Each structure stands twice: as structure tokens, then as C-alpha cells.
Amino acid sequence: MTEEENQGEEGFRFPPEWDARYPGQNQTATDAPPGYITIFEDFFLQGNFRLPVTEFMAHILHYYGFHISQMSPPGMVRVQHFEFLCQSHDIEPTVERVRVFYQLIRNMGFYSFGNRASAKKILLNPPKRVVDT
């Protein structure tokens, strides 16, 4: 694989030892070679997904029993946001804690996380802008 091919369409640079493959012009996600998975560009651009995944993300995937390629970008954002909030408050993010606030939902074959109806809403009216005082 050439250096240009290794960068992919948007310039993603995966280490050569990962042997990342990028689709050809007329290929789709279902054309991944045997032993490979498809991870959509939107995971990286819209979901802020990064490799390698965190232990927390691995725990979420294991607990719910689906593959990272089956998670929607908005689901990815919710999991990561929850993890970042926990870390910013020195709280260990766990599956049990995420289940207090979110429930697994499936839409068009992809998994995401929706607000649990019983979870208390902390911020009812999000601010439209932040004003420096």
C-alpha cells in the first residue's frame, strides 16, 4: 500500500501495521475483504471517534453485544460525551452508570443511545449563548 493509499480519502493516517484498507471508487461498505470491518468516515468526522477505543467503549460494546461498526455516529457521541463528563468530575465511567441516563435504541440496523425517560433532566433549557461577565 502506498503512502497516499494509507492516508485514505480525508487524510486519515492509520499506522501501517493496522493494514487499513480503503474502498475503491465503485466499492461499498459490504465489499470489505474477509477479516476486515467497515468503519464509516462519519464516525471520525461527526462522532469524533478515535482509535484505539477506550476501555469504557469496549465495555459498552461487550455489555450490549454489538460491534463498533453497528453504532451510529450520534450514539458514538453520546457514549464519548458521557465518558468525558465522568472523567472531568473524577468519576469512573461504567456501563451501570451510563444505563441510569441512557437506554439502547436500534434504528435502521444501527445502535444508538436515547435518554432514559426516568432519568432526571439536569439542564432543562440549554443556554443559547454564553456571555462573558
Instruction: Indicate if the pLDDT at residue 68 is higher than 70.
Output: yes
State the pLDDT at residue 6: 42
Task: Check: CB of residue 59 under 8 Å from CB of residue 95.
Answer: yes
State the pLDDT at residue 87: 92
Query: Is residue 70 included in any domain, yes or no?
Result: yes
Same domain, 22 and 50: no
**Residue 36 pLDDT grade (very low, low, confident, very high; cuts 50, 70, 90):** confident
Cα–Cα nearest to 47, from 57, 37, 55: 57
pTM, two decimal places: 0.62
- Count of the separate structural domains present in the chain: 2
State the pLDDT at residue 2: 44
Is residue 93 packed enough to be buried (19+ CB in 10 Å), middle (13-18) or exposed (0-12)?
A: buried
State the pLDDT at residue 17: 84
Cα–Cα nearest to 48, from 67, 17, 75: 75
Neighbours of 49 (CB within 10 A): 21
pLDDT tens digits for 53-64?
889 999 999 999
Same domain, 26 and 48: no
Find the domain containing 106 and state its range: 40-118
**Residue 27 pLDDT grade (very low, low, confident, very high; cuts 50, 70, 90):** confident
Same domain, 95 and 85: yes
Query: Is residue 82 included in any domain, yes or no?
Result: yes
State the pLDDT at residue 52: 73
